[in-house]
Amino acid sequence: MAVRKPAIVRTKYGSVEGNHENGQYVFKGIPFAAAPVGKQRWQSPKPPEPWHGVRPAFKFGPIAPQNPMLGMEIMADLATTEPQDEDCLYLNIWTPDTKESLRPVMVWIHGGAFIVGSGSQEMFRGNTLTGRGGIVLVTINYRLGALGFMNLKEITQGRIPASGCEGLLDQIAALEWIRENIEAFGGNPDNITVFGESSGAMSIGDLMAMPAAQGKFQKAILESGGAGTVGLLEDGVATAAQFLEILGLKKTDADALYSMTVPQILSAQQKLNAVLHEKDNRITPFQPVVDGDVMPEIPIHAIEKGSAKGIPTLAGTNLDEFKLFNAIDRSFRNMDEESMALRLETIIPPEHLTEVIAAYRRGRRQRGEDTGAGDILTAIQSDYMFRMPVLRLVDAQCRNGQPAFNYLFTWKSPLMKGKFGSCHTLEIGFVFGNYDERFHGADPDADLLSKKMQDAWTAFARSGNPACKSLGAWEPYGDRRNVMVLDKECRIEIAPYEQERLAWNRFEMPVTKPI
């Protein structure tokens, strides 16, 4: 039970009162933007309204409207208990002390396929990252799904100006609020590191390319996500058209869209998700849209041209990312060579499919790993969606003269006798120091790995270099392709899984469609 030890901090918009919990001060549910409701639905975020007196910051704010996502019960620590509401643009702050200023600031952008998640998930409560690393931690909400990532500008002929990047603009608004106010909470507004996982990391890849985000942060940590999971404008328009068709609305009927209830929007989103999952085996119907304005071009192209110069980058992936998704996919249980090829034809140019499969089978055979159809499919899906975009981002940053570091997380989950391997989301618990015996494993080796990762992440937030006493030296990725393997025994390896990486070099892959 938390001991009552309040702290009052003055922000630009009014004073907030937090409390002392688990050795740190916590401020919950602070609005960083005005509520995006009514005619503000699908609009760019506006500053919050100032308030008088002291605003209590003891409870997390409402989270973005979202449907349940299949498989979330496996990751109990990513659950949330807060109510859902369109009025969801809130952030939370954990700080060792509000009096000592200029600590490194780490801003967490949650994942969840652009359709689920929040900044108040169980994982972040009682975290040990703040205390061990001496940093100020901020977690944020942002609009999700149809409310945050649907382009409506074209299809409504401008009556609704939504670019399909409103969720990203929310993230930028949060960063602006943090830069204006974080010093009062003990943080350094000139030393902000954004870090996130999955669609949170993909969001960071987008921010590294967006003009509106320039100068809003100094460093970036991307866990299981790069800078290519976006939709082209024509795809965004087609998705919006399908959404309106499900609702039975005319393309120009903006008033009807504004009057739709949140349950109606979520219901239509769920139906669209089912259609796309059946058609393309997609997990999510929405992702940020390259609209030519808010997001002028495909993010990885902008980064390769130097849009993220001056931003040290730490990015990596888990070895078996897609085991999480395939474990809950019933159709995966009977995977054979023909079914594998049919799935891969949607993501790999047909003329390259045979050679990519052969490269993966050859590499796995040489390492003594299983080479069945399901094993090959999982490995290719993991690299297509996560590892290859991350390596391309890290490589681009290195070529632009920026310090860029890569990791490969290979610790395996004990769940269901190891069926999940080093799956998607597994590393998050080690970063925040919240991991359980069931999903993550909990023993002295897990404790040590968590401490090493926390030390590396916070060292990077301080200096732009993840080398630290507990983990040792960590050289940038560079031409040698230095990769830090994070496991029971952490070590640098030179160009691991190189045969598989080279298989992707024979064709262009600027956009990674969600699968």
For 362, phi and psi rounded to 5 degrees? -65, -45
The CA distances from residue 28 to 20, 25, 57, 344, in Å, are 12, 10, 5, 44
Strands 289-290 and 231-232 turn out to be parallel
pLDDT (0 to 100) of residue 125: 86
Burial (CB < 10 A; 0-12, 13-18, 19+), residue 58, is middle
Q: Which residues of the chain have pLDDT under 70?
A: 1-4, 70-77, 515
pTM for this entry? 0.96
Which one from 198, 224, 382, 413 is the annotated catalytic residue?
A: 198
Query: Of 213, 150, 195, which is closest to residue 459 (Cα–Cα)?
Result: 195
- The pLDDT value given to residue 333: 84
Q: What is the pLDDT of residue 1?
A: 45
- For 253-267, give one letter per residue: b (16+ CB within 10 A) or e: ebeebeeeeeeebbe
**CA 295/CA 460 separation, integer angstroms:** 28
Check if the beta carbon of residue 44 is closer than 8 Å to that of residue 34: no
450 is known as an active-site residue: no
Q: Does 369 participate in catalysis according to the annotation? A: no
The pLDDT of residue 74: 64
pLDDT (0 to 100) of residue 251: 83
Residue 198 catalytic? yes
CA distance 62 to 92: 12
Per-residue pLDDT of 400-419, as tens digits, reads: 999 999 999 999 999 988 89
Cross-strand pairs, 56: 17
To which H or E segment does residue 8 belong?
strand 7-11
23 φ, ψ to 5°?
Answer: 80, 10
Alpha-carbon gap, residue 160 to 39, rounded angstroms:
9
Selected catalytic residue, list 224, 424, 450, 500: 424
Cβ–Cβ under 8 Å, residues 208 and 303: yes
Residues 6+ apart with CB under 8 A from 1: none
Task: Find the helix packing angle between 373-382 and 350-366, rounded to 10°.
Answer: 110
Q: Of 82, 154, 321, 500, which residue is the catalytic one? A: 321
Q: What pLDDT, on the 0 to 100 scale, is given for residue 2? A: 46
Tokens representing residue 349 in the block? 């140019």
